[in-house]
Structure 1
């Protein structure tokens, strides 16, 4: 067992004995699941899936579908069009609250049921089957394999979904939903009934972590800006009325589902997923939350922890026949550009007047446009000839 998988297993063993909470009971098919199921998985930048526990057990994605359908609609319609119909503010209320913005009728955000139904209502397609297929195609690309709908859970969702229908009718009265109510809600019920494993969810989370590129298939699923916007909303809204404390304690954009899943994203590091059907009063998995919190703490994944690699890139100086070469590695943001300029300034001050210093940025993992503009303008003012190679 490799060291990272060993850490996952240790965390799983520590959390296993926690038997608080109970499976969701308001959807009959979810009430019958084995409450002792427990699984945990992570996917890093090389696309290797590490998982422990009941990692091959399928369960329905439920509300964890919301970020990915949001990504689908953002890619189709754009952020401005989405924000005309759905807000981006934490609601501070339960996931199924009947609460809309005064005057406009907009739901608070795409992670609560009302906002998700409005988002799903924006998916293109002539009927439920066509819209479901469009959603399935996108979610399958995020997962790296073809997914499918659990028809029994779908029927259970549809039979007991009067509250969601009420939300949809209310939003349609404001013009937030243009599609017929049954078309919007039945598509929503089907998207929530898509089957996944904890391994699938970890891959899906990792695709968001790496800017919309699935690290397992190397396929670009959505643009980097779309992935960024989805993670922004997950950060403040993904864990419902527990989102603020979650961000404080765990510090990762995340989304839960009433089937017992939790997925979380450590940008540029990992996609994480856990599964345990027992839920707390917020509708979040008790053990799933505990697992992700423990991993975040042990691996230093909190979003707001300082990361020196961003402000301190690797700068190697090598003397060659063509002169001195400065090789840059890591990420070149604004703070990193400042550090590079200090190093180059010192070198230029000590170099002969006719010296040429070559700055090689071809091994940079990422460079931000503003940082490049600042670096190039400052290089021109240094007392030496400096050439930059990208």
Structure 2
């Protein structure tokens, strides 16, 4: 997996360096435009990361799905819907976009996100308590304590005139619970939380795992909340490029002006990408490019749902288990990305002792292209480790 992600990264770099930094926020305008990092988190919490994976950046609008999830968990769907709708806006992220009832059109644009921020916590919560709850909630999604970049917070607070205007607009419609300045300050602090691509991948996988953090095991929000959030991400997460994204990539996703993109494919994978150059919609150019490649290569499009597979590993017999000197690994079910990734990790655990290995696929019902390629690579690497590998494949699963 790291080798493959490195290949994706190099391809994205070779694709060009178009796009611009978010120059309207002074701290973001100083970012290194050439940074690129990619991370994947699997359903059991395994994280793969390449590139500038240690670099931390502010979460910005990537925080919006998680604040929305916390508001839903704290207030319930009906109360949140009274204040914020769920319809795609067709507008830029910072536009005045409200429906006939005076509600922001969705929680993924700024006017909706400011309104949503004020809904986190119970009905009697102060603005400061709502902000503290948001930051603690973001930390629970990431599986570690997150911090605020105070320099970015101060920089954004000084240039928040448009967000202030949006907050006053919603307040005038009777949909904003906090005072406009308090709501905007809290929202700005929410956007100034520092993360890296590993955090994004884990946070996305938590949404994709019905609210259970795959690393810590904590149930951060109820499963129904994740279904609601992922639905809104699928239709609104990439602003007015959401239609193109959904047809080309097909993964519920969210972007941020610092250059981050996260994708959450239910039951399979969480994706985090960081590259600061943005397109005209405010989405990372290389981030979009990487997600397009991942979706295409690994068959991750939401509308291309894989068959449900049973447990991948049927059994392992060690060389001394039946006195034939061979290690036997029997797989079963359907081999798509998530299943094949588990199988590869089992093959990776084989000791480099030179003993013969049997990979039994008799119980594997089918495999898609990525499943076949991943299993072949696993066999190839066992051979490179000096094993005599014998593949039992009566149904021709690995044969095109």
Equivalent in the alignment of 1:121: 118
**TM-score normalised by structure 2 residue count:** 0.76
Q: Is the 8 A contact 2:119 2:130 kept in 1?
A: no
Equivalent in the alignment of 1:193: 192
Equivalent in the alignment of 1:308: 307
Using the alignment, how far apart are the partners of 2:82 and 2:39 within structure 1? 36
Equivalent in the alignment of 1:63: 61
Paired residue secondary structure (1:35): coil
Using the alignment, how far apart are the partners of 1:330 and 1:118 within structure 2? 46
Q: Is the 8 A contact 1:254 1:262 kept in 2?
A: yes
Q: Is the 8 A contact 2:37 2:49 kept in 1?
A: yes
Q: CA deviation at 1:126?
A: 4.9
Equivalent in the alignment of 1:175: 174
Using the alignment, how far apart are the partners of 2:240 and 2:298 within structure 1? 26
Paired residue secondary structure (1:247): helix
Q: Is the 8 A contact 1:273 1:292 kept in 2?
A: no
Using the alignment, how far apart are the partners of 2:129 and 2:220 within structure 1? 19
Larger radius of gyration: 1
5+ residue gaps, structure 2 = 315-331, 335-400
Equivalent in the alignment of 2:263: 264
Using the alignment, how far apart are the partners of 1:114 and 1:330 within structure 2? 46
Paired residue secondary structure (1:84): helix
Q: Which runs of 4+ in 1 moved over 6 A?
A: none
Using the alignment, how far apart are the partners of 1:119 and 1:46 within structure 2? 30
User: Do structure 1's residue 33 and structure 2's residue 19 form an aligned pair?
Assistant: no
Equivalent in the alignment of 1:140: 139
Paired residue secondary structure (1:87): coil
Map 1:93-104 onto structure 2 (within 5 A): 93-102=91-100, 104=101
More displaced, 244-253 or 92-101?
A: 92-101
Deviations 1:246-283 (A, max 9, x none): 00000000000000000001110000010000000000
Using the alignment, how far apart are the partners of 1:330 and 1:175 within structure 2? 54
Q: CA deviation at 1:105?
A: 1.1
Using the alignment, how far apart are the partners of 1:235 and 1:330 within structure 2? 29
Using the alignment, how far apart are the partners of 2:183 and 2:308 within structure 1? 45
Using the alignment, how far apart are the partners of 2:55 and 2:233 within structure 1? 25
Using the alignment, how far apart are the partners of 1:84 and 1:11 within structure 2? 43
Map 1:1-390 onto structure 2 (within 5 A): 4-17=1-14, 18-102=16-100, 104-124=101-121, 126-309=125-308
5+ residue gaps, structure 1 = 317-328, 332-390
**TM-score normalised by structure 1 residue count:** 0.78
Q: Is the 8 A contact 2:108 2:233 kept in 1?
A: yes
Using the alignment, how far apart are the partners of 1:313 and 1:10 within structure 2? 29
Using the alignment, how far apart are the partners of 2:125 and 2:175 within structure 1? 18
Using the alignment, how far apart are the partners of 1:309 and 1:227 within structure 2? 20
Deviations 1:280-325 (A, max 9, x none): 0000000001101101111111000142227x999x9xxxxxxxxx
Q: CA deviation at 1:218?
A: 1.0
Paired residue secondary structure (1:52): strand
Paired residue secondary structure (2:293): helix
Using the alignment, how far apart are the partners of 2:301 and 2:151 within structure 1? 38
Using the alignment, how far apart are the partners of 2:97 and 2:208 within structure 1? 31
Using the alignment, how far apart are the partners of 2:129 and 2:10 within structure 1? 43
Paired residue secondary structure (2:184): helix
Q: Is the 8 A contact 2:211 2:223 kept in 1?
A: yes
Aligned residues: 313
More displaced, 206-215 or 123-132?
A: 123-132
Q: Is the 8 A contact 1:128 1:186 kept in 2?
A: no
Q: CA deviation at 1:127?
A: 4.3
Q: Identify if the C-alpha distance between structure 1 residues 163 and 205 changes in structure 2 by more than 3 Å, giving closer, same or farther.
A: same
Q: Identify if the C-alpha distance between structure 1 residues 294 and 162 changes in structure 2 by more than 3 Å, giving closer, same or farther.
A: same
Paired residue secondary structure (1:88): coil
